[in-house]
Amino acid sequence: MWIRSIRINNYKSFEDSGRLEFERHMNVVVGTNHSGKSALLSTVGHRYVGTPHKSSKFRRDAALNPMSVADFQFSVSGPEVRDAILSDNLNLYIPVPLAWARDGLTPRKVLDRFFALPEIVISARSQASHDAAPSWTRVGYPSTNLFLHGQEDPGFIHVSALHDRSDVHIVQMAAGENDNVAENMASRLEPRIYFFDAQRVPQNNFDFGSSTKLNSNAANLAEVLNILQSSRTEFAEYVAQVSRVIPAIKWISTTPSQRHSQHVEIKIWNIPDSTKRDDLAIPLAECGTGVGQVLSILYVVMRSSGNVIVIDEPNSFLHPRAAKALIGILKEDRSNQYVISTHSPEIIVSSDPDRFFSLAFADERTSVTEVARSDLASIKQVLAEVGSQLSDVFGADNVLWVEGPTEVQCFPMLLRSVGREFDSGLTIAPLRNTGDLESRHGAIVADIYRNLSSAHSVLPTTVGVSFDGDKHNMKEKENLERAFGNVLHFLKRRCYENYLIHPSAIRAILNVTESFKAAPIEEGRITDWIGDNGRIPKYKAEGAEPFSPNWLKAVDAPRLLEDMFQDLSEAREIYRKPLHSVAITRWLIENDPQFLSEVVEYVVGLIPTHNK
């Protein structure tokens, strides 16, 4: 069984979600806090209570519709229906087109034809009154997709299980609209939906028993692991998968509980079981919440199929590396369906979702946008082209693209130095491969990115693109200006480090290095070095006097600083841009802010007025 679609009405922030189509394998939901992710997943997981949607369009004392409703479509196979009849002893009224009987089929052959279907789509409604758990009912007639109401004569076949459950008994086949498939098969689906979030922690112990099926709330995890433990090979495979996610776990054991004689308890080993140091094993209850979740999720993945596994923000109970490893295992499994919410770009990328939904809360309700798989691939490709990645910009409303990681750190410092705090929805992200934008492909990359960032909520809107001044005369400048429009800007000097040639600041930074702690360097040595070397051709400012405005504008400052650090320290120190450029910027803000006035004015001009 798997969920094909859902439509949510009148539940929390959902006024009407519209029909959301899911895929058989991996479905991912993203959105900011309070966007409705948890509400969507609790509905899919059928773990919700009726909570009517509220908004200002209703009067304060207006009577609200007390029913929250979720219309499901789910797929089952004919054999799954047959198994349900036999195992649950169902009296089932199955809607079938009478045309099947007119084709000369006997009731048994009609039933066999139904049971042979590889996929049957069933529509069922889940509805919950205010503060009450949901129950299943039929949406309309027929509850299956075998025929359309009004276009074919309705019929049904009434079946039940024989007493010994060896076969299905046909009670009758007749004309009419008898149909109870939806509520019966939906009830069969419900225990196959597993819902995992940070609040639903599996129990450390449970009664001894013989069940190998994990309850949908994972309460009997100790029971099923105790049974699995009897098969050493399978249990070792299970532990190996757990260790892929949490390498610190070397073994897992289940033992009789010392507190409850009828209970079995889970213990976690941080050393191999070959040590026989069971005294060092830790009860699951004393481990972090993520451990129990991983144990439960992987048990379902490895021991059963045909489940719907719903995971609400795995990054909230797992370290990013562990979450990524878990998603890797889930991606390998093709026998279960996954619906996962996240705010982690790493999970989005590693899961490579078949369906990808972006939620947003606006105008007092949640709206859902599906991002096509091809568009998500295009987004990742374009970001790679410009040397960035999804984690640089995911979750932001607006983005300011800058030349590299140095500017990412320094530009916010410069803004704050003049009392400018940019909006929390704005992020500053690096364009690492700016050389690609100078190539003949540059305009194409820029145009694709601009279109994507304006068309999809996954990527933020570009409010500015800042290039170093040495790109001001590149051949592709006109094409880039057409692509990026008025958000494209160029520094007035060769690069950011051209604003950091300040002997006092450089001296302060050098004197905290190991090479100069014992014998601090004098500022005059730095000034003299620049005066003696600043017009060497390799620094590209030989026609100007060092420290003059023209020289400061044209000099290859990063190369100059690299050579200066090497020479003055006798090759013991290296100028590291992300470290030393930030340190010099901080010193100048604190000691000579006027020296940075030109670049501060430039950075302030990059941010639209509403973000200043």
Which residues in 382-436 belong to E strands, given as ranges? 398-402, 426-430
Q: Is the pLDDT confidence value at 439 over 90?
A: no
Residue ranges in 246-341 assigned as alpha helix (H): 289-303, 320-332
Q: What is the pLDDT of residues 1-46, one digit of tens each?
A: 899 999 999 999 999 999 999 999 999 998 878 889 999 999 999 9
3-state secondary structure of 317: coil
Domain boundaries, the chain: 2-192, 197-358, 372-490, 503-591
pLDDT digits (tens, 9 = 90+) for 390-436: 666 666 678 888 888 899 999 999 999 998 876 667 888 887 666 65
What confidence tens digit (pLDDT) does each residue in 266-295 have? 999 999 999 999 889 999 988 888 999 999
> Does 407 or 347 have the greater pLDDT score?
407
> Does this chain's domain 197-358 share its CATH topology with 372-490?
yes
Nearest by Cα to 406 from 566, 594, 585: 585
Q: Which helix (H) or strand (E) holds 168?
A: strand 168-175
Gap between the Cα atoms of 343 and 27, Å rounded = 14
% of the chain at pLDDT higher than 70: 89
Taking CB atoms within 8 Å and a gap of at least 24, the contacts of 147-150 are 147/95, 147/96, 147/97, 147/99
Per-residue 3-state assignment (H helix, E strand, C coil) for 342-394: ECCHHHHHHHCCCEEEEEEEECCEEEEEEECHHHHHHHHHHHHHCCCCHHHHC
Q: What is the pLDDT of residue 450?
A: 58
> Percent of the chain beyond pLDDT 90?
62
Residue 452 has pLDDT above 60, yes or no: no
pLDDT of 93 > 70? The answer is: yes
Q: For the sheet containing 398-402, what is the strand order?
A: 426-430, 398-402, 461-467, 488-490
CATH of domain 372-490: 3.40.50
How high does pLDDT run on average in the chain? 88
Distance, CA of 221 to CA of 294 (rounded, Å): 11
Give the CATH number of domain 197-358: 3.40.50
Of 141-155, 320-334, 499-513, 530-544, give the lowest mean pLDDT range.
Answer: 141-155
pLDDT tens, 137-154?
988 899 999 888 777 788
Give CA–CA dist 591/598, Å, rounded.
Answer: 16
d(Cα 33, Cα 451) in Å, to the nearest integer?
26
Contact 408, 429 (CB under 8 A): yes
Confidence at residue 478, expressed as pLDDT on a 0 to 100 scale: 72
pLDDT at position 390 is 67
**Single-letter code of the amino acid located at 258:** Q
Q: What pLDDT band is residue 238 in, cutting at 50, 70 and 90? A: very high
pLDDT at 326: 94
